[in-house]
Structure 1
Amino acid sequence: MVVNNGIANDARVIKTAAALRRAGAEVTVLGIATAGGPREETTAGGVRYVRLPVFPRRGATAAYLRFALARRAAHLVRDPRRWQRTLPSLRWYQRAFTRELRALDPDIVHAHDIHLLDTVARTWPPHRCPFVIYDAHEYVADLAVAGRRTRREVESWAAKERDRISDADAVITVSPEIATRLAAEHHLPRRPTVVLNAPVRFDGPADPGAPAGPVRSLRAEVGVSASTPLAVYGGALSTARGLGTVIEALPLVPDLHLAIVAVPYPHPMSQELRELATSLGVADRTHLIEPVAAHEVPAFLASADIGVSAILGTAASYDMAMPNKLFEFLHAGLRIVTS
């Protein structure tokens, strides 16, 4: 498997790797190390996780200067259809992943998201390329513009998907609606298979050396009694995830406490959320909680009363999403409040 992040907070990648290992496959997941960091390798539950040094650390170094100049040059290219020029990160992916992929000599490569699909296809000549699966985690043609992601970047990734989706021997995705769109818009020979973001069933922890079952209680960490109403949000955070809206609603429900179990932890938005809660007089009912391992999430959340997903309807990708948290809430037996 290949993915353009540090793996640890990508529940779909971890769950897929664990499920394949349980089915008898030998699984290696290649991800990205912290910028400027060394190559890292770990093993959990029989899955080998390798984080590759891809991007340079920000600073006065020749490596970072080359990277910064490439990004600056990319901004001069206005046409997103020229994605090879507008997405400078592709060169760094190619350098880091090609050697590792060739050394592994896999039978199947599972490319999570669009970022590394062309890197996989270019690693081998067409007649020697392994079976390639493209896993569309999102509807790339209309990703939300949030944080550092610009509209031009979204259009560039969409153009890349249009040009390179045919490199995949099979396409899977997260929801029926996205599957239908991909089949129609890219004239695929068959509709992508839908693999939901559902929790993996574990008889024990992913790492055989870890203790069985959740070792923490959400309600205990929040510090409220069993009779106190408790809502929980779990997963990645951005302005588009609507946590500001949820906090703004807390004054309307005087007894309700909100637990935010966000990745990464501590989260860059933590201070912003605390300041909002303080300004509304609900800081004592807003709790930022350290997350647990992916296989422990449903049991960890189960002591709450309500699961909250308030994603803002700013992009078609969000409108068609069926995120991990939805299924984690279901498995935890929670009532769900969603946008």
Structure 2
Amino acid sequence: MLVDNGVNGDSRVQKAARSAADAGWEVILLGRAPVGQPQSWRLGDAEVRLLPMPEPLAKRRHEFRRAWLRRPLAYPPSGIAAHRTQVVKAWRADLAVRRAALTAAAGESGAGRAGGLPWTALRAEEKLAGLTRRWVSFRNRQLTQARRGRKLDGPWDRAYTLFWQKVHGGGAWRRLEPGLWDYELAYGPVVDELAPDLIHANDFRMIGVGARAKIRAAAKGRRIALVWDAHEYLPGVQPWRDNARWLPGNVAHEREYVPYADATMTVSGGLADLLQREHGLAERPAVVLNAPAVDELPTDPTAPVPDIRALCGLAPETPLLVYSGVAAAKRGLGVLVEALPELSEAHVALVVNKPDSAYVRGLVTRAGELGVADRLHILPYVPHHQVVPFLAGAQVGVIPIQHWPNHEIALITKFFEYSHARLPLVVSDVRTMAETVRETGQGEVFRAEDVADFVRAVRAVLADPARYRAAYERPGLLAGWTWEAQAEVLDEVYSRLLPDRPGPTRTADPAPSAAPTSVEVGA
């Protein structure tokens, strides 16, 4: 298995590796080390290896050049700026110690007032150090402004992108996004050494690494089965604001190597249909939902599950709305804060990945302006096996995501987490999630970013929560939304591609859906 991150925090990849190993496959999961040193550990019966990955190709050539015309006095981008800053700091620190030593010596001698040649020289050197500090700071600011001024979204960069798309077609990614080669150079040799029978490539960066390994193996007369696991619809990803090359480059890379995949899987039926049309796939990708695992035991079963109400200081009868997951503007969290003045008795808990981020601080500031800061609670993530029972202490699970292409076509992880916690839902009208909620009756749908409609939906749920919770009693509903059910699909794909592999397939019996204990806070 290949993934372009550090594995920790990627619940889908972790669950896939663990369940494949449980089914009898020998699994080695290769990820990217967050620091320069390799790491390894066991994930159930699967082996995890994190590889160091230098990124020299991720930098563009202009980042190595001076901006002579725009900022002629800026330091060169060679690292000398940090060195000069530190030199000046050390100089000023030395002057402070020398001043202290002269002051102490004057006190001991009874001179009382500082004077003489040493003091005159010290004051002159302090003035020189102050002027030098201002000069170094000025050149540092010039360097920062030069870096900010050269983005990759201007007319030149758009023309550059179009030129290489015309010249190289699908191979234009080699010019537009050369940093993809850093992944190949880190992962490729390790994959060749392992000589796998099957490669499970997660998402758009790893499909190239897997496909090239398959090609090299074929040249040596050895077959590798390649599975591409598409986590999202790449053309629908929000592009980097200052990089006109990133999205076209990555899309071209994906399209070049998808034809090498022997099987494709993805996170939802809507995305499966879209990928089949987009890439002309002969068969519809298998759907493996980002559902929670209900049979994984906690590392420390004696550790108590935190009480979300106790952390918020709330009584059992106080209405509590919860959002869990990444805190970002496109997740639409602002609507929860704006609605609090209209929901006079309700509280909101945001269980987020970065409680101290600038975005979250902005939400807290806005709550203060509205006079509702005491009803907004910011909480950190809890361990993955505690998420569902932790969320179950709330009354309503909220998913206010905005209309982005990838939001329209998937049931995201938090949808399943809320469902296993048996929370009534209030969700925005992104297509797939809204259709599901309306069909199951487990919640209410509101128009994305519409505060008044959000208030209406919340009031409807709080007026009769039992009505919405009853949807979870439908036979088979929650059982189908477990990772154990998805792992069977995963094993079927592997077994179809390698029908002659040795050893039995061990498929665990699906765990009961009534007591989920192991899921990851969803993104």
Q: Does 1:117 align with 2:207?
A: yes
Matches within 5 A, 1:80-119: 81=170, 82-119=172-209
Q: 1:199 aligns with which of 289, 292, 298?
A: 292
Which secondary structure does the structure 2 equivalent of 1:299 belong to? helix
The one-letter amino acid paired with 2:2 is V
Q: How far apart are residue 273 of structure 1 and its match?
A: 2.9
Give the equivalent residue in structure 2 for 1:59. none
Q: 1:72 to 1:30 in 2, by over 3 A?
A: same
- Write out aligned runs for 1:151-190 (5 A): 152-190=245-283
1:296 is aligned to 386
Task: Tell me if 1:324 matches 2:417.
Answer: no
- Post-superposition CA distance 1:287-324 (Å, at most 9, x none): 222212333322221111111111110x2211112110
CA shift, 1:72, in A, is: 5.4
**2:427 alignment counterpart:** 338
Structure 1 stretch 180-189 or stretch 17-26: which is displaced more? 17-26
**Aligned equivalents of 1:47 and 1:84: distance in 2?**
34
Q: Quick check: 1:68 aligned with 2:77? A: no
Which residue of 1 is the match for residue 362 of structure 2? 272
DSSP 3-state at the match of 2:394: coil
SS in 2 for 1:156: helix
The AA in structure 2 aligned to 1:337 is: V
Partner of 1:30, secondary structure, is strand
Q: Kindly report which structure 2 residues correspond to 1:192-271, keeping only aligned pairs within 5 A, or say none.
A: 192-205=285-298, 207=299, 210-211=300-301, 215-263=305-353, 267=357, 269-271=359-361
Looking at structure 2, the residues matched to 51 and 89 of structure 1 have their Cα atoms a distance apart, in angstroms, of: 19
More displaced 10-residue stretch of structure 1: 11-20 or 268-277: 268-277
Structure 1 residues 312 and 131: CA distance shift in structure 2, 3 A: same
Q: CA, structure 1 residues 150+262, in 2 after alignment: closer, same or farther (shift >3 Å)?
A: farther
2:84 corresponds to which residue?
none
- Residue 268 of structure 1 and its aligned partner are, at CA, apart by 5.7
1:241 Cα deviation after fit: 0.9
Contact 1:42-1:49 at 8 Å conserved across structures: yes
Deviation (angstroms), 1:152: 4.3
Residue pair 2:268, 2:409 contacting (<8 A) in 1 also: yes
* Aligned residue type for 2:278: E
More divergent stretch after superposition (118-127 vs 190-199): 118-127
The 8 Å contact of residues 71 and 88 in structure 1, kept in 2 or not, is answered as no
The number of residue pairs the alignment matches comes to: 325
**Which of residues 131, 143, 155 is equivalent to 2:225?**
131
Question: Residue 166 of structure 1 aligns to which amino acid in structure 2?
Answer: P
Quote the Cα distance in structure 1 between the aligned partners of 2:418 and 2:22.
24
Tell me, yes or no, if the aligned pair for 1:178 and 1:320 is still in contact at 8 Å. yes
Which whole-Å CA distance do the structure 2 matches of 1:266 and 1:160 have between them? 36
- The 3 A distance-change label for structure 1 pair 329 and 117 is same
Match of 1:24 in 2: 24
1:38-57 map, 5 Å: 38-55=37-54
Counterpart of 1:327 in 2: which secondary structure? helix
On the 8 A contact 2:355/2:378 being kept in 1, the answer is no
CA offset at residue 203 of structure 1? 5.0
Matched AA of 2:50: R
Deviations 1:216-236 (A, max 9, x none): 222222222211111111122
Shift of 1:148: 5.3
C-alpha change, 1:214 and 1:194, in structure 2 (3 Å) is: farther
Which residue identity does 2:264 align to in structure 1? V
State which drifts further: 168-177 or 279-288.
Answer: 279-288
Please report the TM-score for the alignment, with normalisation by the length of structure 1: 0.86
- On the 8 A contact 1:143/1:317 being kept in 2, the answer is yes
Higher strand residue share: 1
CA displacement at 1:70 relative to structure 2: 4.9
> What is the alpha-carbon distance in structure 2 between the residues aligned to residue 306 and residue 26 of structure 1?
41
TM-score, length-scaled by structure 2: 0.57
Aligned partner of 1:6 in structure 2 is 6
Whole-Å separation in 2 of the counterparts to 1:149 and 1:309: 28
1:78 matched to 2:161? The reply is yes
Deviations for 1:254-280, whole angstroms, at most 9, x for unmatched residues?
A: 222222222356556332333233333
Q: 1:176 deviation in Å?
A: 0.9
Q: Secondary structure at the match of 2:196?
A: coil
Instruction: State how far apart, in whole Å, the 2-side matches of 1:42 and 1:153 are.
Output: 33
- Which ranges in structure 2 are unaligned for 5 or more consecutive residues? 65-150, 429-523
Report the aligned-residue RMSD. Answer: 2.6
Show CA shifts across 1:188-227 (max 9, x none): 110001111111121523x4xx226763222222222211
User: Contact 1:222 / 1:259 at 8 angstroms: preserved in 2?
Assistant: yes
Distance 1:183 1:300 in 2: 38
Question: 3-state SS of the aligned residue for 2:291?
Answer: coil
Code of the aligned partner of 2:363: L
Structure 1, gaps ≥5 residues long: 57-62
Q: CA deviation at 1:328?
A: 0.7
Larger Rg: 2
SS of structure 1 residue aligned to 2:314 = coil
The change in CA–CA distance for 1:316 and 1:102 in structure 2 (over 3 A counts) is same
Paired-residue identity, %: 36
